[in-house]
Amino acid sequence: MTSAQAILNGDRLALARLLTQVENDSSVGREALIELFPHTGKAHLIGVTGAPGTGKSSLVNQLALHYRKVENKKIAIVAIDPSSPFTGGAVLGDRVRMRDLAGDANVFIRSMASRGSLGGLAQTTANLVQVFDAAGFDLVIIETVGAGQSEVDVARLAHTTLVVEAPGLGDDIQAIKAGILEIADILVVNKADRPGVENTEKALKSMLDLAHPTERIFQHHGTAMRINSAPTQGKPASAQKTSATPIWIPPIQRTISTEGSGIDKLADCIAKHAAHLRSSGDWVLRERTRLEVELAALIRESLMKRFSENVSPNLYEATLQKVIQRNTSPWEAAQILLKEM
């Protein structure tokens, strides 16, 4: 039996060992991914991101508890922490906050080091998620490294992205900058028992008001067509029978992870978002984008491989020297080398 078959049969040790192969991007891992791919596409992928210390791990812990107790779903958690840029080592501490989930055979937590990747995920996180998807987990929660402003890769991977904020972390100017807040499908104000929660919520709300006008103008047969929609928070705009896709306005949900308050409402928001993705066609669109990005990356990788196999190092070095001496431009040099392929 291949490891892929063992995983489809629910073998947890085989799953753990394959995850390592996939994380290391070994040939064994790649073969298994090919075998598992037809079984993927069923899980709801939920991304959780936010600044360090906003309480992502504790929130994931509570969310997973909720899904186990209330909805009896099978849950995988991929938690990413940074690798040291100097030694390549890492201390992965997300499990410390997830101790409530121990002893439940329907929860599988896997810690991952970022291994030099900068977008908030590791290079092979998407592949790990595919393995969990194939293994029959209903939900895969992806917790990013503590993210600053531009670690936005998770939005390309997940169906639903939660951005976790906490009181006292910056003002309304932070909130109108591009980046991490933009990718939120749901905004979570965690540690809501802390002072300043109203201000944080207000800043986020005003950011949303600026970003999501209630009237959108679409170009239709060359003439501007006005569509009035009055979206309310957390609900898609009234589904009028027009060519407009309903607008999702990210709801803002307060939580206190340490005591579990607000978690059921947050799970509600997540369910509503999933329903919205499916009814609006965005689910398919996101899948398409994700797989397209993945395909492009794989093509790039094998083209580079073919390039280094076909272009002699001597020619490469000689051409590079010409560029350094300003005899050939980099653009011409690239053309010359590509002709060798």
Partner 1 sequence: MTDKKIRVLVAKPGLDGHDRGAKVIARALRDAGMEVIYTGLRQTPEMIAEAALQEDVDIVGLSVLSGAHMALAPRILELLKQNGQTHVKVFIGGIIPDEDLHRLKEMGVTGVYGPGASTEDIIRDVKVAVES
Residues forming contacts to partner 1 in the complex (CB under 8 A) are 12-13, 16-17, 19-20, 24-26, 83-84, 87-93, 95-97, 99, 102-103, 108-111, 113, 115
Q: In degrees, to the nearest 5, what angle opens at C-alpha 37 toward C-alphas 160 and 299?
A: 90
Within 10 angstroms of residue 40's Cβ, the number of other Cβ atoms is 16
Structural tokens at position 137:
């987990």
In whole angstroms, what separates CA 84 from the centre of its chain? 22
Contact assessment for residue 239 and residue 248, using Cβ atoms and an 8 Å cutoff: no
Within 10 angstroms of residue 193's Cβ, the number of other Cβ atoms is 13
Judged by beta carbon, residue 113 or residue 207, the one nearer partner 1 is: 113
- Residue 107 belongs to what H/E stretch? strand 107-113
Judged by beta carbon, residue 84 or residue 279, the one nearer partner 1 is: 84
- Minimum CB distance to partner 1, residue 313 (Å): 19
- Minimum CB distance to partner 1, residue 82 (Å): 11
- Minimum CB distance to partner 1, residue 102 (Å): 4
- Minimum CB distance to partner 1, residue 42 (Å): 21
Judged by beta carbon, residue 225 or residue 297, the one nearer partner 1 is: 297
Judged by beta carbon, residue 20 or residue 149, the one nearer partner 1 is: 20
- Minimum CB distance to partner 1, residue 48 (Å): 18
Judged by beta carbon, residue 119 or residue 236, the one nearer partner 1 is: 119
Judged by beta carbon, residue 78 or residue 157, the one nearer partner 1 is: 78
Return the sign of the alpha-carbon dihedral for residues 230, 233, 239, 242: positive
Judged by beta carbon, residue 13 or residue 338, the one nearer partner 1 is: 13
For residue 77, the 8-state DSSP code is: E
Structural tokens at position 253:
């949900």
- Minimum CB distance to partner 1, residue 21 (Å): 9
- Minimum CB distance to partner 1, residue 90 (Å): 5
Structural tokens at position 14:
């085989």
> Could you tell me which residues come within 8 angstroms of residue 200 by beta carbon, excluding any fewer than 6 positions away?
165, 166, 167, 168, 169, 189
Return the sign of the alpha-carbon dihedral for residues 231, 235, 236, 240: negative
Structural tokens at position 80:
């990413």
